Structure 1
Amino acid sequence: MSEGPGATAHRAVTVRGPLSDARASEQARGDHHAAPLAAASWLLTTAMDLHRMAGALAEGLTAESGDDAEAVARLTSRWTSLHRDGGPPAEHTRLEALVEIRRPRTRRPALLWQWSGADPVAALAASSGRLARELVAVSQAAPLAEAFVGPVVLAPETAVHFVHETLGHSLEADNYRDYAAGCGLVVGSTVAGPQLTVVDGPLPGLETSRPRDDEGHTSRSTPLVEAGVVAGVLTDAREARRQRLPRTGNGRRAFGAAEALPRMSALHVARGTTPHAELVRPVRHGLYCRGAWGGGSVEEFFVVRPACAEWIEDGELTGRFVYGFDVKGRKISGLGALGSVGDDMGVFNPVTGCGKYGQELPVSMRSPSLAFDRLCAVPIAPASPSPPP
């Protein structure tokens, strides 16, 4: 294997096209023959299984909307070895599954599903009901016409991104020092009701859980928010020394990076007590957001992009859907608007990385649904047309 900050190798299979004419292609990088990767034959068989399941979802979308839909499934076995400060290399092999449902005519992606873990076929099967409902919603949705400010309920797969952007990034020690404490997210301050508890650290079912960080320090469970009160900060070695904070085992570095940064490892929001129906029932006019296409954190501000949302009227879901919007605002205001935490739970083990200072790293998360008394949903501005030549 290569030397330096670390080494990597991967083997991947991509399957695309209609079920009747599925086409597979393979890619490999690095010394994949020597790395502890999944066998090529198993990857091909499993990728074909993922594509068959995704193809059934695509056919359902075609029948629902009349637009041709295409399934693409990619399965990767990836090995990395990172040299840790004062210890042996940290080696890890992971499976990454990425499924996309595309609309070739409209060029508008309808669904993106990603999973990292031991059994991607079982994970996709477990998610298929939710994904089918999300596809129906997207096929029926219209663009959000104007900004909406009012009650918003986030399904678990959307809620994880809200917590990631508002709390996870803000309570990474360098960000805490640079801006979060000055914006009101200071240890000891109350930022939400007593129903909110958030922890980062090794947890079963979260793929990015590790016994040690990339500096060789033992990972530990670190409360970030306890009963609505900011309780902790995630540190690497440098920020722990600089701010005289305890080491939490959150020094992580991407492959090829020279230094570790304080990063989330595996984020968990404690289950609440409110049944799902009771999250919607008090809402006279609001949005129920599903899916997620990502998010962002810029100092005191956050943004989350749901796949779609369903209007709530008089405590009932209406079957009227919108898409093409961001939920955004000030972090402290969004957290303060949290009203209820659901008794459900969703897990997000991503393939795509979370970016920080050019380092892309995945962060696994799990969360119940979250209901807010007041958030802001803003239509995504259309891309500006290119100037004439």
Structure 2
Amino acid sequence: MENTTNTDTVFKTYFDQTLERCGWNDEMQKGIIFFLGASIISLNTDQILSRFKDEIRIQEELHHLIRLYAKPNEAYDPFNEIETTPISSAILTYNHIVLHQLIGKENQIEKFVKQNPDATSIVSDASILEDWTKEFVNAKYTLSATHKLNKMFFEYIGQYLKALQLDNTQCYVAGINFYQKYQTIDFEGTNFLNLTIIDSLSPIFKTLMHYPILYTYHPQELNSNHLFSSILQFFYMNANTDIAKYIHNYHHNLFYKPNTRNLRKEWNFEKEKRGIILSQIVHNAINIRKTVIGNYRSHFLQSDNYIMNELKDQAITRDEFKAGITHLIENFYEMKIEDVIENYTHAEFLQTCAILYYETAAHAMLVKEFKSN
């Protein structure tokens, strides 16, 4: 299939290399890239509006973001290669699972998406994929559930696009054109469906979807941050924001060399054995209490937004605390340590590291004292 789009953008190279480092297979990458194009307006419009007031400048900035990964050529539209029903069905099913099954809200899709039979909405020809819904019977809205759904969604779309022999650039441009077609027909409904997906992305996928705007307006921070740190920052958004600033400050001291954005040598996430990294994170995150942040323990105690509130002002051994953290990771987040070590992609491993660091540091500040074993 001829590709007449311009693939030679610096951001495309940067983003594709990031996806490779994440360890995603080809299908996952294509699905992620398609949705990067399909969601880039829905995700970033509010941020652009907050930065610029002039209408012409706003349109210029959005135009720049759209063309950051690939610059479409009017002579070729990969969207013409796509029968959209499979993708529309994936979007409809995703929204149904999140809104109806995980959150328990009725009639949200019908409320926001056009139901006029004379109008073609994004889901007018779609159907709910029952093999997906069966996977989430009695499930709750948790990071584990949404991450599982994220992966199903991206891989399903990527498999379809790969079968059509679309390359990454064509997948991205098809995503842009998919969005533009349906937002013209039903602006509110199309953005509602997109934002449901965006809002329920797990930290690693939310990080990746924000790469275009980070690359454009915060390039130094993006380039200097390890992917682990970026994932950690997006995890904070759905965590305890009252204490996140303290944990983030300690993270800089723990993982990076002083006054640099270079990781300390002991944090070689790519080459060191995963079990060793996980053990190091727990061991070192506990020591947040020994830093100046320990003086702000009362700030931590004021909040009840913890998974293990029962640790407040308790005296326990370090071994008991570590066992509790392991139980939290394996049961609340449903991340079995053995699977993390043996089976997770690199991106999922980094996501686990970020969550493990945060939960260990946060809960360590609740404990009154660590008794001798």
For Structure 1 versus Structure 2, the TM-score category normalised by the shorter chain is under 0.3
Q: Point out the structure with the larger strand share.
A: 1
* Greater relative contact order structure (CA < 8 Å, 6+ sep): 2
Q: Point out the structure with the larger helix share.
A: 2
Report the TM-score, using the length of structure 1 for normalisation: 0.23
